[in-house]
Structure 1
């Protein structure tokens, strides 16, 4: 049976019809569940090509007064508010660069951030469920875990239907959302550049675990197998294990790393484990810390700190990256409108701070990057900039002393004498250890001389300077040496690190005519695929940190003057069995605008030095290690009419040499016959992904799934059986129109999973 492709325009039209019945919506959703479909939200505004800002602070809904308030996390002040009477107690507010969204059960209210105007509500994709809100890279999400539906807000508003139930979702610093389908084990992703959700990886059946974001990367922590897997668009790779720590498979895992460590909460034994995952070859020893008594059921990382919340008892503790407790608080709350008292909850903002709200939204505790806390009243009249700092009110009670950067006088060191002793009876040496001289009321109290010793001159006692407040982080500087160059029918943009100015750079954002992308703060280059021929391009880049966006810098002008040769077709291992050597073979591609010169083979990466040159469609590579797999890149080099050499698009095959003759197992993917399939797969882009299988196990069923570099696994797949010789041809099961994307298939059977060659999809000539 031929897989059904996703048709977004039809579903969009259904969702746009006002007054539709729940049955109609349910039917649409049911038809999309198995397909990982995504549809465009109604009422989405046109994308703004202007610079986007990482969103600072946090919006809070106070259900007592029926208003939302913006809390500046850096200053602890409320600086904006507006009325939203239709939300319900416990509603969460998320924000993009332009708008905010109040997430209630069965309702989504939206408002403009520039003028605080309340706009028409957004119809939620599920009812009677409180969604989980997430923010990153200027985008916001609402995830309905039980219904298995996802809303992405922002310039690319979408609805995805991965099907539930879902585990706790995460979003990486580049705005890619990941969810775990608990029942099926699928790990699904929705990158910012995509309009549909794909599921490139699957966990072992019956295994429990959780997702964690490590910067722009995602990992899955398999608590059953005690193994960490790194995730990407092509699947998952085995990472480090959890070491010697003993954790149950229902442990809590923070959705973000703590300074490069996983934060795992063992609720059975009331312990926190911090496990290093950034040094897989030689990991640092785990940090294990006993926790105070409590039923901690929510955990979040603020970067170098971690917040743990016992929602039932409104009990919050924070710890530093060394596992030591930093602060503790009781989150006060009261019933809303005479009803049951709502539970406290915590949220990680786009600025990486953690915001802990009481159930009705009139009290928030801000957890900074290092785990330090600050309590703020919301909507009580004590939250504006002209009022004393809310943290001086003592509500909730924070166990550490007041932070030194505040203007509250330093806390007096208590005298060692009993409380009943009058102040005038202090011993002579005590004045040197009591309240500093700048305390109000002490300026006229002279020190008592110390007999037998030289009296300290008064000026020396009054020169103790107050502790200066810390310097507030600033926006990052400009990216350095931004250079673009043409490669593989696209461009590679590279740059030097921007100055951080006191706050870690979380991402770099690039834009050009016709597109944009976001990469992590540690990245120094980005590949921009599929540029138009004979069109000049400039690439603009700016850095982002918690204080905002840095200045935008434009690259040099680049232009793809000539169409390069397409990817060589059906790359495979033709001859092996000779130790340290193998022979590759492929089919001639379309040569683009040039005339053929030669083929070049590189090993390891597409930019590695050329290992072999050939003027035929075969190449023998020597000096290999038997059993060690390598990535082989093959491309054609052509000559344009002006004499310029044009580098063609590559085909990639992962293979190894073997020391004895044996039938070579081959999985070969290629562009098959052209076709049309639905509204979104039309000539000349649309054709079948053809799959050829050779020398696998005879008379055995294999599952085949197609992938592309941007869509991931875009088709549920197809299962069929090899013949008596282990051969199989699948010519017409996977319609595809992913022009410019790397395309490949995986084949899974009893002996494991095989991956085919990878090639760039092209339109029909």
Structure 2
């Protein structure tokens, strides 16, 4: 069914106009629900698809003083506040990189984060319902589960109408929101770059289950069938089952994994199950631990820890990644203005910490990644700022408190690093009393000896005897754990392939040695310090996902799948034989090259950048040469040249680059050149077949005459794949090597080095192509 397009501006005005009858709004919404359409919330804001930074901390609304306070999760301190009198008790505050939004039952107040100015309110798409707020990747969401409506805040503000009721929503690390339409079973997604929600997968109708996020991947846990499914833009893939554990249909599932495991809370039997889904072929045995008795109805993961909340009784417990209790707290609240007291609640922030608020917002608990907690007063005149608009309360007024447990009752779970073993204290020897004057034992007339002390007298230890404390035992060596999941895995199209980027995975006690990437048709391994990889040679009009996991001495971490990417058009190949065409003018040089194959598009221009392939364009040219000025003589820079073409649909397609390291000189001289290019096609053995296989042609100009040079070929994945070839230049320092290095490294960067008595020269670098 094709969705009907709406006019974003007209609907925006309708949603923002206050005082409009509810019947009018309901009529518009009803038409949208059936069509699963999404409309833009505001006409303001530019569609910025760049990298979003994680928002730190959490905003808390204190309904007693009518102010919002920013709580820094790292320090446990309040560092900013402003007045918002129009929100209601129990309101949640979410934030994007630029603004904050106070979510009340029938109102959305917004404020600027830079100046804390309260802006015009946003009319919510549903009334008399407290939405669920979520944050990730610089975006924020308000999900109205009963009404079945979603608001996304940020640079691309959007309203979506999936239709309710909805299960608990989740948002992955790349900012993709997923919701479960409980009645129909549809599993729907709203990526950061999309203005429209789609439902690529459907759970079995009538089955109960829940969504959870594992890095940038979404997972659906079918509690009825006891099956796990991995979700993506193309549908759902069957994963492992839940193993040999008893899980009821009404179990709670945390919205994020705990160290690569699903966290499932059996509320009937007060049990926690941690189920491994990072190794579908050989999953580890589930971890099942008993929980303290409680009516737990909210659960959230901070990555390595877990927070469980009994909202009715305001009881909080936190657990480590092994399921054992770390801490507990009580969050008592009180009625506000004679009304029923709001319940405590917990939220996972964009910084992966869990923030637990009592009902009126004057106390909060910060749950760090490992489950450790810190209680904070919010707007009480202590560490939580000063209530400038509220008179001082009488001392006998009951104030909500967070009561930490007595230290002896706190059970600390074992950590990756074991606690330091403290040796038993040895009491120092008592100071001897002044001995009475006695006759030495070897004198005549002595009435006692040291072996027969007088009754009632204290035996004095010999002064030469010292008490030596026992040597403390060495603490046991820390047992490292497998690494965590790579963070923020993302892929984008570039240079006829894709670039995959990610954030570091948690090491868990052992240095990460490598990251392994795989995709349909290939795989690669990069070092543990690497945060991106170029995947060349992808097929056109084929969808790709990239899976990555970290490796350390303890094993492999959980795998995370990237977003979907696709090459819609064949881009231009690398410009051929890039070289310095002329020099001798201070601060300037001219590059020249040969025209490449233009792929599916028509030629528009060449672009030259300096420093990296993604640096801003320095020079544009419609010919096969470009002059670059403003250089420093003798300082080498890397120049990147690529062709830009226009596809049949009008889209500009960025071609593959070729690069060269060069410098300007002030004195004209013969330019020393080492130029590599794809030569004649050939067949060499079983692994180098036409049309992929050809010789790397090497052309040398103006090096030392009659001198032997050693030439070695390289590619970006194979490194130095050929032992090399040595030969001598002619009387003019020239040399052509056309047929020594057969190569079939399609999609890889290719180059050669030439080593002689004066040093090593590196040729231009270009992407190897198939001769088709």
Shorter-chain TM range is 0.5 to 0.7
Give per-residue Cα distances to partners, 1:550-584, cap 9 Å, x unaligned: 99999999999996599999999999999999999
Provide the C-alpha distance between the structure 1 equivalents of 2:250 and 2:727, rounded to a whole number of angstroms.
37
SS for the counterpart of 1:530 is coil
Cα deviation, residue 587, structure 1: 32
Cα deviation, residue 344, structure 1: 0.6
Cα deviation, residue 330, structure 1: 1.1
Give per-residue Cα distances to partners, 1:644-686, cap 9 Å, x unaligned: 9999999999999999999999999999999999999999999
Structure 1 unpaired stretches of 5+: none
Task: Quickly say closer, same or farther: Cα 1:125–1:611, change in 2 above 3 A.
Answer: closer
Give per-residue Cα distances to partners, 1:416-440, cap 9 Å, x unaligned: 99999999xx999999999999999
Cα deviation, residue 270, structure 1: 1.1
SS for the counterpart of 1:432 is coil
Provide the C-alpha distance between the structure 2 equivalents of 1:392 and 1:742, rounded to a whole number of angstroms.
75
1:417 counterpart residue number: 422
Give the greater-gyration-radius structure (CA): 2
Provide the C-alpha distance between the structure 2 equivalents of 1:297 and 1:512, rounded to a whole number of angstroms.
39
Structure possessing the higher relative contact order (Cα contacts under 8 Å, 6 or more residues apart): 1
Is the contact made by 1:631 and 1:653 (CA closer than 8 Å) also made in structure 2? yes
Q: Does 1:180 align with 2:184?
A: no
Give per-residue Cα distances to partners, 1:516-560, cap 9 Å, x unaligned: 999999995589999999999999999999999999999999999
Q: Does 1:716 align with 2:750?
A: no
Cα deviation, residue 129, structure 1: 0.4
Give per-residue Cα distances to partners, 1:52-86, cap 9 Å, x unaligned: 43111111000001010111111111111111000
Which of 570, 574, 587 does residue 567 from structure 1 map onto? 574
Task: Quickly say closer, same or farther: Cα 1:512–1:659, change in 2 above 3 A.
Answer: same
Is the contact made by 1:213 and 1:256 (CA closer than 8 Å) also made in structure 2? yes
Deviates more, 1:489-498 or 1:257-266: 489-498
Is the contact made by 1:170 and 1:178 (CA closer than 8 Å) also made in structure 2? yes
Provide the C-alpha distance between the structure 2 equivalents of 1:433 and 1:634, rounded to a whole number of angstroms.
102
Cα deviation, residue 355, structure 1: 0.8
Is the contact made by 1:599 and 1:635 (CA closer than 8 Å) also made in structure 2? yes
Deviates more, 1:412-421 or 1:495-504: 412-421
Task: Quickly say closer, same or farther: Cα 1:498–1:278, change in 2 above 3 A.
Answer: closer
Task: Quickly say closer, same or farther: Cα 1:598–1:155, change in 2 above 3 A.
Answer: closer
Deviates more, 1:751-760 or 1:119-128: 751-760
Is the contact made by 1:302 and 1:368 (CA closer than 8 Å) also made in structure 2? yes
Which residues of 2 match residues 169-318 of structure 1 at below 5 A?
A: 169-318=169-318
- What TM-score comes out, normalization by structure 2 length? 0.57
1:541 counterpart residue number: 548
RMSD: 21.5
Q: Does 1:402 align with 2:406?
A: yes
Task: Quickly say closer, same or farther: Cα 1:473–1:417, change in 2 above 3 A.
Answer: closer
Task: Quickly say closer, same or farther: Cα 1:444–1:27, change in 2 above 3 A.
Answer: farther
Is the contact made by 1:576 and 1:658 (CA closer than 8 Å) also made in structure 2? yes
Task: Quickly say closer, same or farther: Cα 1:644–1:504, change in 2 above 3 A.
Answer: same
SS for the counterpart of 2:409 is coil
Which of 624, 630, 639 does residue 631 from structure 2 map onto? 624
Deviates more, 1:77-86 or 1:546-555: 546-555
Cα deviation, residue 699, structure 1: 81
Cα deviation, residue 34, structure 1: 2.4
Is the contact made by 2:495 and 2:656 (CA closer than 8 Å) also made in structure 1? yes
Is the contact made by 1:543 and 1:549 (CA closer than 8 Å) also made in structure 2? yes
Which residues of 2 match residues 586-605 of structure 1 at below 5 A?
A: none
Task: Quickly say closer, same or farther: Cα 1:58–1:589, change in 2 above 3 A.
Answer: same
2:441 counterpart residue number: 437
Give per-residue Cα distances to partners, 1:665-717, cap 9 Å, x unaligned: 99999999999999999999999999999999999999999999999999999
Cα deviation, residue 30, structure 1: 1.4
1:760 counterpart residue number: 767
Is the contact made by 2:15 and 2:125 (CA closer than 8 Å) also made in structure 1? no
Is the contact made by 1:437 and 1:461 (CA closer than 8 Å) also made in structure 2? no
SS for the counterpart of 1:382 is coil
Is the contact made by 2:270 and 2:290 (CA closer than 8 Å) also made in structure 1? yes
Provide the C-alpha distance between the structure 2 equivalents of 1:440 and 1:490, rounded to a whole number of angstroms.
106
Provide the C-alpha distance between the structure 2 equivalents of 1:370 and 1:165, rounded to a whole number of angstroms.
34
Deviates more, 1:47-56 or 1:705-714: 705-714
SS for the counterpart of 2:490 is strand
Cα deviation, residue 23, structure 1: 2.4
Deviates more, 1:248-257 or 1:11-20: 11-20
- What TM-score comes out, normalization by structure 1 length? 0.57
Task: Quickly say closer, same or farther: Cα 1:501–1:600, change in 2 above 3 A.
Answer: same
Is the contact made by 1:5 and 1:35 (CA closer than 8 Å) also made in structure 2? no
Cα deviation, residue 39, structure 1: 1.1
Provide the C-alpha distance between the structure 2 equivalents of 1:665 and 1:685, rounded to a whole number of angstroms.
30
Is the contact made by 1:61 and 1:92 (CA closer than 8 Å) also made in structure 2? yes
Structure 2 unpaired stretches of 5+: 386-391
Give per-residue Cα distances to partners, 1:311-355, cap 9 Å, x unaligned: 111111111011111111111211111211111111111111111
Cα deviation, residue 290, structure 1: 1.0
Task: Quickly say closer, same or farther: Cα 1:637–1:264, change in 2 above 3 A.
Answer: same
Is the contact made by 1:200 and 1:712 (CA closer than 8 Å) also made in structure 2? no
Provide the C-alpha distance between the structure 1 equivalents of 2:83 and 2:650, rounded to a whole number of angstroms.
67
Task: Quickly say closer, same or farther: Cα 1:618–1:188, change in 2 above 3 A.
Answer: farther
1:28 counterpart residue number: 28
Give per-residue Cα distances to partners, 1:729-749, cap 9 Å, x unaligned: 999999999999999999999
